[in-house]
Chains A and B, each alone.
Chain A
Amino acid sequence: MTIQLSHEPVTVDRDHALQLLGEMLRIRRFEETCAELYMAARVRGFVHLCIGQEAISAGLIPLLTPEDRIVSTYREHGHALARGISANACMAEMFGKVDGCSRGRGGSMHLFDAQKRFYGGNAIVGGGLPLAVGTALADKLQHEPNVTVCFFGDGAVAEGEFHECMNLAALWRLPLLFACENNLYAMGTALERAQAQTDRLVKAAGYHVPAESVDGMDVLAVASAAQRAIDFIRAGNGPYLLELRTYRFRAHSMYDPELYRDKQEVEQWKQRDPIDTFAARLLQAGLVTDAEIEQLRQAAADEMAAAVAFAEASPLEPVEQLTRWVYSDATPEEQER
Chain B
Amino acid sequence: MNSTHVALAEAATAQTTTRLTFREAARAGLRDALARDERVFLMGEDVGHYGGCFAVSLGLLAEFGPERVRDTPLSESAFVGAGIGAALAGMRPIVEIMTVNFSLLALDQILNNAATILHMSGGQFNVPLVIRMATGGGRQLAAQHSHSLEGWYAHIPGLRVLTPATHEDVRGMLWTALEDPDPVLIFENAALYPVEASVPVEWSPVDIDHAVVRRSGSDVTLITYGGSLYKTLQAADELAAHGIQADVIDLRTLRPLDDATIFESIARTHRAVIIDEGWRSGGISAEIGMRIMENRFYDLDAPVERVCSAEVPMPYAAHLEQAALPQVAGIVAAARRVIGG
Contacts and interface: CB of A to CB of B under 8 A. Distances in A.
A24 interface: no
A294 interface: no
A112 B117 CA distance: 9
Interface in A111-163: 112-114, 119-120, 122, 124, 127, 129-139, 141-142, 160-161
Interface string A314-335: 0000000001111111000011
Contact of A102 (B73, B90, B120): B120
Interface string B69-84: 0001101011111111
B109 interface: yes
Contacts of A164: 73, 75, 77-78
B78 A122 contact: no
Which applies to chain A's interface (DSSP): helix, strand, loop or mixed? mixed
B180 to A, nearest CB: 8
A160 B77 CA distance: 9
Interface of B: 41, 67, 72-73, 75, 77-91, 93, 108-109, 112-113, 117-126, 157-158, 160, 181-182, 256-257, 259
B81 A69 contact: no
A164 B72 CA distance: 11
A165 interface: yes
A152 B5 CA distance: 72
Given A131-B113, A326-B158, A112 B120 contact: yes
Interface of A: 69, 71, 100-106, 110, 112-114, 119-120, 122, 124, 127, 129-139, 141-142, 160-161, 164-165, 167-168, 171, 323-329, 334-335, 337
Nearest to A104: B122
Nearest to B43: A137
Closest 5 pairs between A and B when the two form their complex, measured CB to CB: A134-B85, A130-B81, A103-B122, A138-B89, A164-B78
Nearest to A336: B256
A138 B113 contact: no
A141 B78 contact: no
Contacts of B89: 69, 134-135, 138-139, 142
A168 B73 contact: yes
A106 B83 contact: no
B85 A132 contact: yes
B265 to A, nearest CB: 17
Contacts of B259: 337
B82 A130 contact: yes
Contact of B81 (A127, A167, A337): A127
Contact of A134 (B83, B112, B121, B125): B83
A136 B89 CA distance: 8
